[in-house]
Structure 1
Amino acid sequence: MKTLLLLHGAIGSSAQLEMLKKKLESSYKVYTFNLPGHGGTALPQEFSIPTFANIARTYIRLEGLSSISIVGYSMGGYVAMYLARHYPGFVEKVVTLATKFEWDEAIAAREVKMLQPDVIEQKLPAFAKTLEERHAPEDWKQVLDKTKDMLLGLGKHNELSLEDYTFIRTPVQLLLGDRDKMVGLEETLAVYKQLPNAQLGILPGTPHPIEQVDAELLAFHVRRFIG
């Protein structure tokens, strides 16, 4: 049985991927874990894509996993692509969903505006409560602050340039929801065209939040690609 690792997105946790995990467990050995500072794990000194990629790499090695494929949602997909770029052969296949690839200072500045704790508490109290519970006992506001720093850092230096994708020989499937307001089709297509061995899929009626993604539809695409 093949092995899959599911990676969650920024300010998220592995719990958000439980529904997808259940859909895939009959076909694969499925693993999930919380990246540092997420889902109640201790806050690291900094959030960064290289840091998260190294943590994922360490997790895979400590679990003794081999011939592993990664399904990454949003930031999790970026982490998976970083691993495929910098550690050739380490990952068998990669599936990304709703992963933002294009970063510059203007994009980063726009994204961090949505990560203001005070605004979230005032305008989205239910979401603030969700974040508080998701990251307890750590302070969810610190999680947001570190995420903002990471995004601003990506705005100054995108960890993966378009040229980087030409070096990724790992088979990749890029999935995007047709109603995703955070990730654009053009940036996804730009990466797709650079990848030597890639597939592109559009999920109908699908916005960015993982909670609004049809887990059965996503599992179908994963199974069809991973085999």
Structure 2
Amino acid sequence: MSIELYSSSAGSGPNVLLLHGLFGMGSNLGALARALEDSFCVHSLDLPNHGRSEWIEQMSLEHLASAVQGWAERKGMTALSLVGHSLGGKVAMRMALDNPALVTSLVVADIAPVAYPPRHAAVFSALAAVAEAGPRSRREAQDYMAQYIEEPGVRQFLSLSLQRDQQGLYRWRFNREGLERDYGAVRDTLVSMEAYTGPTLFVKGELSDYIKPQYKEAIEALFPRAQLKVIPNTGHWLHAEQPRLFNAVVKRFLTESSAES
């Protein structure tokens, strides 16, 4: 799939692609990128319909993975490691299952290859309220979001994707309508006839419920070499809540996997 993806790259060494979560952008994983760039060539991508990347009409996991693969192929990459958080983790899993010869190792942060119930109704309501109001400041946008979202951290995270238009009004950088339209597709179960047998690390936030014990069978069926690391005292946003520990765990795994390959 020839989709224009915005990316930033730094460092030298084996290629590592960082894939962010829903409503995010590549810079969300900036601390991890900086921790890795002394040993790897790190590429932080904005997924389709997010950040500065091109918008697409269908946003299934297959479409997202195909767009990332197309970007890598246009860059001439023949081997790479994937690190994905939340939605980015699902995209990374899909890509590894579909292109195992390309993906040398896989890190999945706080997500599993299972279907999830909808849990972002309040967020979509907040996004719509901001879009309809056309606020003139980030503070005004946060006030609209506060009517639907209690957590200040979530409102602050979403505010990172606001940009000012030519009329001086703040608009969403991501494809709000597209994300809501295809929300069910990106929450879906991953299915594959073949397992990915490369080195795989699942990283769970101790306080998060995104990776439950009952998902162990589904994980091992698709990723038989999967290891699990738990980051203590952190929730779903483990890379932001415990960056030093999370970055160290990911870097150690990628370094060991790179030596193995």
- TM-score normalised to structure 1 length: 0.83
Contact 1:75–1:100 (8 Å) recurs in 2: no
Question: Which one has a bigger Cα radius of gyration?
Answer: 2
Q: Percent identity?
A: 23
From the two aligned structures, give the one with the greater helix fraction: 1
**Bigger mean CA deviation after superposition, 21-30 or 207-216:** 207-216
Give the aligned partner of residue 30 of structure 1.
Answer: 42
Q: What is the total number of aligned residue pairs between the two structures?
A: 219
* Pairing 1:75-94 to 2, within 5 Å after superposition: 75-94=87-106
The runs of 5 or more residues in structure 1 that have no matched partner are: none
Residues 93 and 115 of structure 1: is their aligned pair in 2 closer, same or farther, counting only changes over 3 Å?
same
The runs of 5 or more residues in structure 2 that have no matched partner are: 1-12, 130-143, 166-170, 256-261
Rounded to whole Å, the distance in 1 between the matches of 2:193 and 2:218 is: 7
* Pairing 1:1-227 to 2, within 5 Å after superposition: 1-103=13-115, 107-108=117-118, 110-117=119-126, 118=129, 120=145, 122-124=147-149, 131=158, 133-136=160-163, 139-140=171-172, 143-154=175-186, 158-161=188-191, 164=192, 167-181=195-209, 183-194=210-221, 195-209=223-237, 212-227=240-255
Rounded to whole Å, the distance in 1 between the matches of 2:243 and 2:212 is: 21
**Greater RCO structure (CA 8 Å; 6+ sep):** 1
Rounded to whole Å, the distance in 1 between the matches of 2:162 and 2:76 is: 27
Rounded to whole Å, the distance in 1 between the matches of 2:181 and 2:211 is: 22
Contact 2:106–2:199 (8 Å) recurs in 1: yes
Q: CA deviation at 1:48?
A: 1.9
SS at match of 2:103: coil
Residues 124 and 211 of structure 1: is their aligned pair in 2 closer, same or farther, counting only changes over 3 Å?
farther
Residues 142 and 66 of structure 1: is their aligned pair in 2 closer, same or farther, counting only changes over 3 Å?
closer
Q: RMSD of the alignment, in Å?
A: 2.7
Contact 1:89–1:170 (8 Å) recurs in 2: no
Residues 208 and 130 of structure 1: is their aligned pair in 2 closer, same or farther, counting only changes over 3 Å?
closer
Rounded to whole Å, the distance in 1 between the matches of 2:202 and 2:70 is: 25
Q: CA deviation at 1:149?
A: 2.5
Rounded to whole Å, the distance in 1 between the matches of 2:50 and 2:86 is: 14
Rounded to whole Å, the distance in 1 between the matches of 2:155 and 2:173 is: 9
SS at match of 2:102: coil
